[in-house]
Amino acid sequence: GEDVEQSLFLSVREGDSSVINCTYTDSSSTYLYWYKQEPGAGLQLLTYIFSNMDMKQDQRLTVLLNKKDKHLSLRIADTQTGDSAIYFCAESVNTGTASKLTFGTGTRLQVTL
Amino acid sequence: NAGVTQTPKFQVLKTGQSMTLQCAQDMNHEYMSWYRQDPGMGLRLIHYSVGAGITDQGEVPNGYNVSRSTTEDFPLRLLSAAPSQTSVYFCASSTLGEIGEQFFGPGTRLTVL
């Protein structure tokens, strides 16, 4: 199966850390991705992690991967109002003819003052 | 570089009408794809292409046709619009070696009455 699941909504206060979680089912995924969608716009790649890594840090972003549990998380430190958006995790699945991305349902992050 | 462009931005159709959503990219990307985004369901892949003259079905292809006569363009045709096709449609492109790093267009919001 290729289901990727996320919780739909997360609210945090400005300055706190946000943790967005994702579970996936395809254990053969080579890379896992986090995309950000701001209101009225398309998705933009935020960061990604190779499947043989446990953690990747990129400035305020930390990605944690638990391959045994097929669990991916994105931590945003010092969350700002500009971080308010929908965050999608995605896994790359090889279909034989080409790889394709399977996206999660998206988590809407609301940052309050 | 304009990146990925989509037209129109908004469209209202009546049931049974046909139309074509346009997508173009100027990055010489081999891989292009169409997704639809519905609340609580994330992005679902409709059709994709790995190069000019090559297309394949995604997760939800019924009711849609695509063609890829050039590297730059990847139009999506709705043959006979139905209310269930009311959605936001995104086109995306990437190199074949970096499927996970897809560049998204701004989207087309389609309403079928």
Contact B63, A31 (CB under 8 A): no
N- to C-terminal Cα separation, chain A: 40
pLDDT band at B40 (very low <50, low <70, confident <90, very high): confident
Angstroms from A16 CA to nearest CA on chain B: 26
In chain A, pLDDT over 90 holds for what percent of residues? 67
CB of A98 less than 8 A from some CB of B:
yes
Give me the DSSP letters along B61-78. Answer: -TTEEE--SSSSB--EEE
A9-43 burial: b if 16+ Cβ within 10 Å, else e: ebebeeeeebebbbbbebeebebbbbbbbeeeebb
pLDDT band at A97 (very low <50, low <70, confident <90, very high): low
In chain B, pLDDT over 90 holds for what percent of residues? 88
Contact at CB, B50 and A102, closer than 8 angstroms: no
CA distances from A56 to A4, A66, A74, B14, B69 (A): 20, 12, 10, 48, 40
**pLDDT single digits (tens) B50-76:** 999 999 999 999 999 999 999 999 999
User: Looking at this protein, which amino acid is placed at residue A6?
Assistant: Q
In the prediction, which pLDDT does B16 show? Answer: 97
* Chain A interface disruption, residue of B102, B108, B109, most A CBs within 10 A: B102
Contact at CB, B96 and A8, closer than 8 angstroms: no
Q: Which residues of B touch A104 (CB under 8 A)?
A: 42
* Chain A interface disruption, residue of B37, B68, B94, most A CBs within 10 A: B37
In the prediction, which pLDDT does B96 show? Answer: 82
In the prediction, which pLDDT does A2 show? Answer: 55
Contact at CB, B96 and A98, closer than 8 angstroms: yes
The two tokens of residue A42 are 């398309």
Angstroms from A2 CA to nearest CA on chain B: 11
Q: Is the pLDDT of residue A91 over 80?
A: yes
Contact at CB, B43 and A31, closer than 8 angstroms: no
In the prediction, which pLDDT does A57 show? Answer: 95
User: Looking at this protein, which amino acid is placed at residue A38?
Assistant: E
Q: Is the pLDDT of residue A71 over 50?
A: yes
